[in-house]
Amino acid sequence: MKTIKQNQEPSDAQERRAIKPVICYPIDNLPSHDSSLYANARSKMKLVESIIIPPRDAKAFEVPAGHFFRIVSVEGPQVGDLNLWNRDNISEHFFSGKTRALHGTHVSTGDKLYSNLPFLRPMATITHDTLDWYGWDEDGGSVHDVIGTRCDPYTHMSLNNEEYHYCCHSNLCRTLSNHQHAKISEIEMKVHDVLNVFMCTGFTKETHQYFMKASPVRPDDFIEFFAEIDLLGALSACPGGDCSSSHSSDSAKCYPLKVEVYKPNDGTLKQWTSPSLNKYSKNHGLS
């Protein structure tokens, strides 16, 4: 939060403020969203796995390239924190910062989730979102953000001077540790900034601080993704529940979430190929 009014405005202050903004990363040259390709593939897809994530906990799941997965609300309004890795190389993982720079602070149908440098390629594409009707509210809030960093015990200790062991960061660490058969100390740095699924967030108009408000998600709402590469995912059911008042505590009402993995209709993805590594990294032998 910036400190303002320590200095007098210069004579051309209004002129400087009036300069028009430009988009940092125009995406016109990226491949357009092929809605018909995904619609055809999901028209007769079959459920192959269903995983329940208990409240204040996390679970891992795997999704083969060319399959779909959904995150589903099953009992009540609940926010989830999603991590994604390359199943065969967890050094490649979801890059929320670049995804945000390309698609904006909140994502929905047609947006892609990009991996970190030096890989930088689409890991997953959002193919359906039952909350796309929400849009932007009068507070400037929207759903499915790539702003927040996940609740964690370190920040909680700094702000509240107490330990809490069911933060999303803690849950994701335990889950990845179990999946990789490695100590948490060995893999904690592989847990990364998240997609805040179903979370309703924005920035306050006065101080531009990150805010959260009650999620509009209800049972049977879901967000659906297409796996562009072989994925390892982990989802934490946030201890903040619908994030209407607090997180990192046992006070909020929390509900389970569900992950469903679907196999597409046979023969519907003949023209689809998994994206290769970023051309720059390939040209320079970086990956």
Rounded to an integer, what distance in angstroms lies between the CA atom of residue 136 and that of residue 33?
22
pLDDT the model gives residue 246: 81
Question: 80, 237 in Cβ contact below 8 A?
Answer: yes
**What is the amino acid identity at position 286?**
L
**What is the amino acid identity at position 172?**
L
Rounded to an integer, what distance in angstroms lies between the CA atom of residue 214 and that of residue 29?
36
What confidence tens digit (pLDDT) does each residue in 147-181 have?
A: 989 999 999 999 999 999 999 999 999 999 999 99
Question: 66, 274 in Cβ contact below 8 A?
Answer: yes
Q: Which residues are within 8 A (CB) of 70 and not within 5 positions of it... i.e. 6 or more apart?
A: 128, 222, 223, 224, 225, 258, 259, 260, 262
Q: How many angstroms separate the Cα of 5 from the Cα of each of 10, 14, 23, 45?
A: 12, 15, 28, 58
Query: 3-class DSSP state for residue 196?
Result: strand
Tell me the pLDDT of the chain (287 aa) as tens digits.
677 788 899 999 999 999 999 999 999 999 899 999 999 999 989 999 999 999 999 999 999 999 999 999 999 999 999 999 999 999 999 999 999 999 999 999 999 999 999 999 999 999 999 999 999 999 999 999 999 899 999 999 999 999 999 999 999 999 999 999 999 999 999 999 999 999 999 999 999 999 999 999 999 999 999 999 999 999 999 999 999 988 778 899 999 999 999 999 888 898 899 999 999 998 988 87
pLDDT the model gives residue 271: 87
